[in-house]
Amino acid sequence: MSEAKELLKQLQSTDKNIHELQTQLEAIPKKVETLEKEIERLYKMLEDSKQSLVNAQKELKLSELNLKSQEEAVAKYNSQLFSARTNEEYKAFLKEIETAETRKKETEDQIIEWMEKIEEIDADIARRQSEIKTEEGTKRAEIEQEKARQADLEKQIKEEQEKRESLRGKTPAGMLSIYDRIGKSKGIIAAALVLDDNRCSGCLNPIPAQKAIEAEHSEEISFCEYCGRILLK
């Protein structure tokens, strides 16, 4: 292969490396953002559980106040029971006592339910705090790894770009112009390799034996008849 074609081959390899490295680099901010959102979600769920606990405690307090009020009502009606002057008044007081006792029992049941609910929420908070302690540390470590990887990729890209500029400076202008023109229409792969089975690595279509030989030995540029890319061996 001529020196010019070898330069073109190296240039294509370098451009491909830069593209792949940049693709990896561009994916890092999204991954970091996802990890940070996962941490935020853990804290949000913990805060929701804490708010649920506050709400449940308020409801328990209200139920306890209601119970006290109902106990006072039962005591009041019981004391009034003995002051009834008629049978109708006596029955009325009994009815009030029955109603107050029913409400009192319902409130006692509510208190038990809220106490059980608070116990469940307390356990949920403890579980979420433990989860945060474990998961946040892991995710923070992943974020730091991604940031370190980002710095390494930026360094590799800079090195490849410097290599690219050096290769472009050595490649004949006419050949470089053709390479750039094809690259604009074909994406990152402007120069394709002739595979061992005489197929174009760009489109995988067959290449005539003579053209494969020219791609390797001729000073002139050969092109794939199907995709139009430069052929190199």
199-226 pLDDT, tens digit per residue, is 999 999 999 999 999 998 888 999 999 9
29 — alpha (psi -120 to 50), left (phi > 0) or beta?
alpha
* Choice between 197 and 83, residue whose per-residue pLDDT is larger: 197
- State yes or no: pLDDT of 47 exceeds 90: yes
The token duo for 30 is 């999204």
Share of the chain above pLDDT 70, in %: 100
* Digit-coded pLDDT (tens) for 166-188: 999 999 999 999 999 999 999 89
pLDDT in tens, 65-104: 999 999 998 888 888 887 878 888 888 888 888 888 999 9
pLDDT at 79: 84
117 close to 58: Cβ distance less than 8 angstroms: no
Q: pTM for this structure?
A: 0.73
| Residue-level pLDDT at 129 | 96
**b (16+ CB within 10 A) / e for 96-130:** bbeebeebbeebeebbeebeebbeebeebbeebee
pLDDT at 163 over 90: yes
28-37, 67-76, 102-111, 115-124: which has the minimum mean pLDDT?
Answer: 67-76
Strand, helix or coil for residue 165: helix
What pLDDT band is residue 142 in, cutting at 50, 70 and 90? very high
Q: What is the mean pLDDT of residues 98-114?
A: 93
Query: pLDDT value at position 1?
Result: 57
Q: What percentage of the chain carries pLDDT values higher than 90? A: 83
